[in-house]
C-alpha cells in the first residue's frame, strides 16, 4: 500500500512563497521519480514539476513553462519526502496541488498516465 501525504498549502498574497511537502510510505512505487500536479479551479489537472533519479543523489528536474524559474522540486532521501518550493506566487497559481508516484518511469513526466499513486491534495490560494 502506497501512501502519499501532502502538506504546506495555504493562502498567500501574490509575490509570496510557500513550500509544499509530500511524504511517501509503503512499497510498490519507484523511488526514482515523483511529480507534482495541480488542478486550478474549473480546469484539468496539469503537471507542474517532477524529478527523475537513478541513484537518489542527483536529480534531473522538469518544470512546466508557467512555473519555471519560480518553483523548485527537491528530495530529502532520509525523510522520503519531496518538496515543492514555490516563490513569486501569482494568482494563476491558485489550485489544488497533488504529489504523485509511479511504478515505472517512461519519461513523460507531465502525463498523468506516468503515475499510479496520488496524494489527497493540498490547497494553495494566491490573492492579489
**pLDDT grade for 56, boundaries at 50, 70 and 90:** confident
Average pLDDT over residues 82-96: 98
Task: Give the pLDDT confidence score for residue 55 in this predicted structure.
Answer: 86
Instruction: Judge whether 4 and 31 are in contact, CB under 8 Å.
Output: no
Average pLDDT over residues 53-73: 94
Across the chain, mean pLDDT equals 96
**pLDDT grade for 26, boundaries at 50, 70 and 90:** very high
Average pLDDT over residues 18-28: 96
CA angle 68, 104, 100 (to 5 degrees): 45
Whether the predicted pLDDT of 17 surpasses 90: yes
Amino acid at each position: 500500500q502506497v501512501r502519499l501525504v501532502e502538506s504546506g498549502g495555504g493562502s498567500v498574497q501574490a509575490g509570496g512563497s510557500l513550500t509544499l511537502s509530500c511524504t511517501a510510505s509503503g512499497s510498490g512505487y519507484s523511488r526514482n521519480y515523483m511529480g507534482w500536479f495541480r488542478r486550478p479551479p474549473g480546469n484539468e489537472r496539469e503537471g507542474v514539476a517532477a524529478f527523475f533519479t537513478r541513484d537518489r543523489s542527483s536529480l534531473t528536474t522538469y518544470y512546466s513553462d508557467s512555473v519555471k524559474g519560480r518553483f523548485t522540486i527537491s528530495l530529502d532521501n532520509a525523510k522520503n519526502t519531496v518538496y515543492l518550493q514555490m516563490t513569486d506566487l501569482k494568482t494563476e497559481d491558485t489550485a489544488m496541488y497533488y504529489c504523485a508516484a509511479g511504478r515505472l518511469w517512461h519519461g513523460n513526466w507531465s502525463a498523468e498516465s506516468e503515475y499510479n499513486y496520488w496524494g489527497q491534495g493540498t490547497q494553495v490560494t494566491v490573492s492579489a
